[in-house]
A and B are shown apart, each in its own frame.
Chain A
Amino acid sequence: MEQKKILVVDDDEIILEAFKLMLSDAGYDVTTITKDGIALQKSLKQKKPNLIILDVLLSGADGRMIARKLRSREQTRSIPIIMVSAHPDAKDSTLAAGANDFLAKPFNIDDLLVLVEKYTY
C-alpha cells in the first residue's frame, strides 16, 4: 500500500524531528519544513501531501493565516489540516481558519495517531 504523505510545519526543529520519528515509525512518509511561504509552496508543488500538520505560532507568521491561504487555493483546498498549539485556547480560531482538527501541545502519541489516521484514511 502506498505510504500516506504528511507535511509538518513547525518552527521548532526538535519538534519537527520528533514528529518525523513518531510518524515514520507509524509508517507515514513525513516531510517537515520550518519556514513558511516559499518553502511551503515549493514543498506543496513537489509533493502534494495527504495531510498537513500545522503549528499555530510560527516565527514570523501565524499558522492560521497559512491555513486560510491553503483553503483559498484550488490545489490545496481539499488537503486536511490538523493544527497544533501550546495554547489550548487557540482551538476555536484554528477551526475558524479552516483547520479540520486541533491538538493541544504536548499531546499523547495515540491521540495524534488517531487523528492522522482519521484524515488520511
Chain B
Amino acid sequence: MPKHIQVRAFREIRKQLIIHTEEIITTATEEHKKYLGVNKTRVGFVKKSERNHVVIIKKISHDLIHAPIEHAVVFRQLGEKIAADSVKDGLTIEEAVDGIIFLKQAIWKVLKKTDVFTQLTLEEFYWLSQTIATYCDIIASKITFTYHELSIKTEEQLNQVVHMVELSEDAIISLDMKGRITSWNTGAQHIYGYTKREVVEKTLSMLIPENKKNDFPMIIGQLKAGNRVDHYITQRITKDKKIIDVSISFSPIRNSKGKLIGASKIARDITENIKIRNQLAHLASLVASSGDSIWSIDKEGKVVSWNKGAEILYGYVGKEVIGKKPDFLIAPEHVSEFYKLKKKIFAGETIENYDSARIRKNGAHVDVSVSMSPVRNNYGDIEGISIVARDITERKKLEQRKDDFIALASHELKTPVTSLKMFAQVLASRFKKEGDFASAKYMESMDTQINKLTEIVNGLLDVSRVHQGKLMYKKEPFAIDELVHQTIESVQLVTNSHTLEVNGNSKRMVIGDKDRIEQVLTNLINNAVKYSPKANKVVIELKNQNGNVLVSVTDFGMGIPKRDETRIFDRFFQVDTPIVKTYPGLGLGLYISKEIVARHGGKLWVESMEGKGSTFYILLPTQN
C-alpha cells in the first residue's frame, strides 16, 4: 500500500480516536464487565482490570495521537509500551491479553459507528483491518511471550525482553490456532528473508519445505493438544528458496480462561551448526575407523579418548585406559622420552613420525611410529595432546631383512674383491721385477678400481649400519690437527689434478673414532676434488672455535643450489644437475659423514654459492 494511503488511514483512526476516546472507555468498561462478570468471585479483579484497561486505552489513544505517522514504528513502540505498562500496572498475563483482545474489539466497534469506512477505499480498508489485527496480536503475543516464556516480573526486565525479542537473532513468531502467523520479529525476517508484512496472517506452511510438509499438521496437532515442543530439529525454506536447518521450540498461549489461543514459536538457524556437526561426525568416524591408534591425553596427562585402532594395537578397550596415566602403554626405555616430548607438545610443538616402542596388554613389545600434536580449545589454549601411533613391526622386519641382505651382500662381494686385489698386487709386483713396467701400471690401475669398488661396498654396509644404529665407534683421544694432515697427505698421493692446501691449526684433542673421522675428511676432500674439475686446488682450514675444533674444506667448483643444501645429506641423494650426473658414486658419503659427525656430538654443514664453490664445515667437540 502506498505510504500516502497509510498516512490517510492513520489520520482517520487518530481523528476518530480523539472524538471517541470517552466512548471507547465507556464501551470498554461495559464490554469488559460482561466479559468477565460471569464469575462473581472475581469482582475485585474485574474492578482492577477495568481501571487498568482505562489506563491502557488512554495511553493508546495518547500514543496514537502523538506518535509520528509511521505505522511500523508506532505499533512497535506501542507494543513495547503496553507490555511494559501492563507489568507496571500489576496486570496478570491474562488481564493484559484480555485487555488487548478487548481493545481490538472496541476499536472496531468505534470505527464501525463512524463513517471512517465509507471514506476508505477497499484496499485501504483491508490494510487498516489487517493493521489493527496485527497490531493487537503483536502486543498480545509479546505480552504472552514475556510472561509465559521468561516469567518476567519487573518493568526493567520486561524492557530488556522486548528489546531482546526485537534484537534476537532467533526468529520469534506467534501463531494462532490455525497456524497463521500473527507476529514476526527482525530475527525471523533475517532468517527467513520475509518482512512482517509478507507473512502476517499467512500460515506457517509457507516456511515448510516439501520434504518436511508433515511438520505443519504435527505442529497444529501439538498446538491443539496444548503441548510444548522443545528443540525440534527440522528444515525450513527461505524466501529465496534456500533450505536451512533450524531448531524449533513451541509453547502454547492461553487466555485467562485457560483456552488455547495460539502458540509462540522460536526458531534458530542451525545450518552452520549442522554443517560443523556433520564435519565433526565425519572426523569422528575417520578417527573411529582409522587403522592407526589414535588417543589423547588431557592437561593432567590422563587418557581421555581411545579409538578402535588403539584397541587393536594395544589390546586394551577404552574403559581400561581412559582416566589413567598412559605410562603402562609405553616401553620402559621410552617412558622418559615420552614425558620429554609431552612437555614439548604442551609448549606448542608438534612431533611427527618418530620411532618408539609400546607395550600391548599381553606384555608384548610393539614397534611404532608416533606423531604427537597439541589439542587446542576454541580460544587456542592447549587442552591436551593427540597421539597417533602406527604399528611398524612389518616395516621394521622389512628394514631388518634389507639391512641383513646388504650386510650379507657386501660381505659376499668383498670375498672376490679381496682375491682380485691380492692377485692384482702380486702381478703388479711380479711385472715390476721382470721390468715390464707397462703391465705393472695396468695392474696398479686395476688395483685402484678395486679400491673404488671396495669403497662403494663399504658405503652400502655403513648405511645399513647407520640405519640400524649399529655403526660402531671407538672412544679414544686423538690429535685432530695430525689426523687432518695425515688424511690430506694420503689423499694428495692419489690426486694429481688439485693441490690440497692446509691452513691453521687447532692444537686440540678430539675423543672419538679416528678412523671414522678420517673417513669423513677423506669423503669431503674427495668430493671437493670431484666437484671442482676446472679448479686446481682445495683449501682445508683448521680452527679452534670456543673450545671446539672447526675443520673446513673449500672447493672452487660448481657449488650447490640453495634448495639442495640440506638435501645433499640425505641418503642416496646426488645433486641433480645434468653436469653432475656424470660423476660416479651412490650418494652415500655425506649421509654417512653427517651421521658419524653427529655421533661424535658434532655438526656437519655446507655453505655454498652456485658457480663459485662450496665450503663444508665439521665442528667437533674437543677433550677440554
A interface residues with partner B (beta carbon < 8 Å): 12, 14-15, 17-19, 21-22, 25, 57, 86-89, 92, 105-109
Contact = CB atoms under 8 A, between A and B. Distances in A.
Given A22-B426, A86-B418, A106-B420, 10 more contacts: A15-B422, A17-B419, A18-B418, A18-B423, A19-B422, A21-B423, A89-B465, A106-B414, A106-B417, A109-B425
A9 to B, nearest CB: 15
A106 B450 contact: yes
A107 B415 CA distance: 11
A22 B458 CA distance: 24
A86 B411 contact: yes
Contacts of A88: 458
B472 A18 contact: no
A57 B412 CA distance: 11
A12 B426 contact: no
Contacts of A22: 422, 425-426
Contacts of B450: 106
A108 B419 contact: no
**Which residue, of A21, A88, A105, A106, has the highest number of chain B Cβ atoms within 10 A?**
A106
What range describes how many residues of B lie at the interface? 20 to 34
B600 interface: no
Interface in B395-445: 410-411, 414-423, 425-426, 429-430
A25 B430 contact: yes
Interface of B: 410-411, 414-423, 425-426, 429-430, 450, 454, 458, 465, 472
B216 to A, nearest CB: 84
Q: Mostly helix, strand, loop or mixed at chain A's interface?
A: helix
Contacts of A109: 422, 425-426, 429
Nearest to B407: A87
Nearest to B429: A25
A82 B616 CA distance: 38
Contacts of A106: 414, 417-418, 420-422, 450, 454
Contacts of A105: 414-415, 417-418
Contacts of B429: 25, 109
Lowest 8 CB-CB distances: which A-B pairs, in order? A18-B422, A86-B414, A106-B418, A109-B425, A106-B421, A105-B418, A14-B419, A18-B419
A92 B513 CA distance: 13
B426 A21 contact: yes
B415 A12 contact: yes
Contacts of A86: 410-411, 414-415, 418
A21 B421 CA distance: 12
B425 A15 contact: no
**Which residue, of B415, B416, B458, has the highest number of chain A Cβ atoms within 10 A?**
B415
Contacts of B426: 18, 21-22, 25, 109
Contacts of A107: 418, 421
